[in-house]
Amino acid sequence: MNLSDERRADNLVNSLPHNLDEYSRTIRFLGGLYDIKENISAEKFKNFAQMILPYNNTILAVGWAERRKENSTDSMTVTYIEPQKFESFLGDDLNSDSANRIAIEKARSMEIISMTQPVSLPNNNGTGFIIYRPVFQSDKQFLGVVFMQKR
């Protein structure tokens, strides 16, 4: 990380307490879509995401990662992501990165919103973090996570 990224990370961490309410509302709003209906189409997700993205220029992307069993391990496969310029991440396993895996497991096991430590964001978007909200079926079966990447 260069000096500019370190300063940006420091600013991000210092402003975090002031922005937690906003972040929490936004990710809860996105997760509410899955609380209402478990199977959401790509088009409905896109329409919902477009209600969020224009109103906060610090949100880089929002997405849905579905829990999939592969052999004896769980993967968290990016199923939807908006805006479309990030579609190259579709199919990626979020659990393949330790920072994501730790935050996702905390969100799942504690049934809370969780976030990564400051990370390098994709496509040279600097430093930020990723917030996860777990989604469960009514019988408490873990389905996946909604997430948002913040600059």
pTM score, two decimals?
Answer: 0.81
* Per-residue pLDDT, 120: 84
Are 76 and 67 within 8 A, CB to CB?
Answer: yes
Assigned token pair, 110: 């504690």
Helix ranges restricted to H, the chain: 3-36, 42-52, 98-110
- Residue tagged 């389905």 (tokens): 143
Domains and CATH numbers, the chain: 3-150 (3.30.450.350)
pLDDT tens for 86-130 read 899 999 999 999 999 999 999 999 999 999 988 888 777 788 889
117 contacts 111 by C-beta, under 8 angstroms: no
CA nearest to 138, candidates 38, 27, 31, 32: 38
For the stretch 43-52, pLDDT in tens is 999 998 998 8
